[in-house]
Amino acid sequence: MTGTDHSIDARPALTLTSEDETAFRSAIREFAEGEVKPLVNDMDQKAQINPDLIKKFFEMGLMGIETPEQYGGAGGSFFQACLAVEELGRIDGSCSVLVDVQNTLVTNALLKNANDAQKTKYLPMLASNTVGAYALSESGSGSDAFALRLKAEDKGTHWVLNGHKLWITSAFEAGFFLVFANTDFTKGYKGITAFLVERSMPGFKVGKKEDKLGIRASSTCELLFENCEVPKENVMGEVGKGYKIAIETLNEGRIGIAAQMLGIQQGAYEATVNYIKGREQFGKSISAFQAVQFQLSEMRCMLETTRLHVYNAARLKDMGKDFVKDAAMAKLIASRNAEKVCSLAVDLFGGNGFTREYPVEKFFRDCKIGQIYEGTSNMQLQTIAKMELA
């Protein structure tokens, strides 16, 4: 999983030759209920995704949904990748984001920007046995993504990278990293270049893992580059054009995060419906009280509003239409609604909702990150406004 074996062991079990998305969703839901759900609490407490479960993600074909079959992938659509992220999010936000980053960020970036040799080498790995990570953020470059200070120097036969990255999702498990560094600071963002870095490359190390509020099983680590040697052939795209790759990839990735938030809302909503039907006060189910019914209705409306925005953005992307504003709106609305829905879920569970015996406290913790990573809510508002006023 974290090695550099480039062979394809076997075809993924999930082959997306059918357009029957209902059957596809059902297959993912069955997998999530049977394989992921029993491990959720243990993974949350240990702050690590079960390694055997990650192997099952590969066997199921979840780590290469859009990857063409010629590279060992499932040959599916971006929309199907979002469905998978949603269904996993319904059970566990950590597993959801692992699959999301693999598909909507790392693999998507390679499919669009890698040359034939790079695709032949890395896409089979990412579809069959190697977790990928997307390394853009640094301590001084969060929302200001292009203020990054990771330095890349041309040494003739290879590049040397020096500096560090922070908040890199899936870094603990990853064997492959899409890394953005600046080759010429005098050119500003036009010096940013994309590098394909393997975990085994000299001078590269995965550092401290963050102890987080939510999505605790999803690893978030710093990356250390100390004279890290990267072969010349591992530059993806043109030198100095990495900023364009980063922008385009993040626009797509925001739909994936919105799908994760949709799944978390769905999980919290379903848990709430089941709970209020069985919880009795004053001699009857609390679901019989109009105040509770109104709150549930609010939750449902927010959930379906999120779904419409996420699906619309994903469909536009698959059709090759302009989706940037819709992606920003989907992420903004999905993350806001997730916090509201999950908060109401805790309210309706009462004291039980504040305990770890019930699932809604975890949904509540997991949803907060949706307003922060892959572009904060303020950055989404800025994107929407710019496009409206252009």
Picking from 302, 327, 299, the residue whose alpha carbon sits closest to that of residue 312 is 327
Instruction: Judge contact between 237 and 115, C-beta under 8 A.
Output: no
Report CA-CA distances (Å) from 31 to 48, 178, 307, 362: 19, 29, 21, 20
Does 252 participate in catalysis according to the annotation?
no
Rounded CA-CA distance 76/370 in Å is 25
Backbone angles phi, psi at 195, to 5 degrees: -120, 145
Instruction: Judge contact between 128 and 64, C-beta under 8 A.
Output: yes
Tokens of 247: 């922008």
Instruction: Judge contact between 21 and 76, C-beta under 8 A.
Output: no
Could you write out the DSSP letters of every residue in 47-97? TS--HHHHHHHHHHTTT-SSS-GGGTS----HHHHHHHHHHHHTT-HHHHH
Angle between helices 377-389 and 324-349 (to 10 degrees): 140
Angle between helices 290-318 and 242-278 (to 10 degrees): 150
CA pseudo-torsion sign 370, 374, 375, 381: negative
- Of the candidates 30, 298, 374, 388, the residue annotated as catalytic is 374
3-state class of 181 per DSSP? strand
Tokens of 238: 């043109």
Active-site residues, by number, are 374
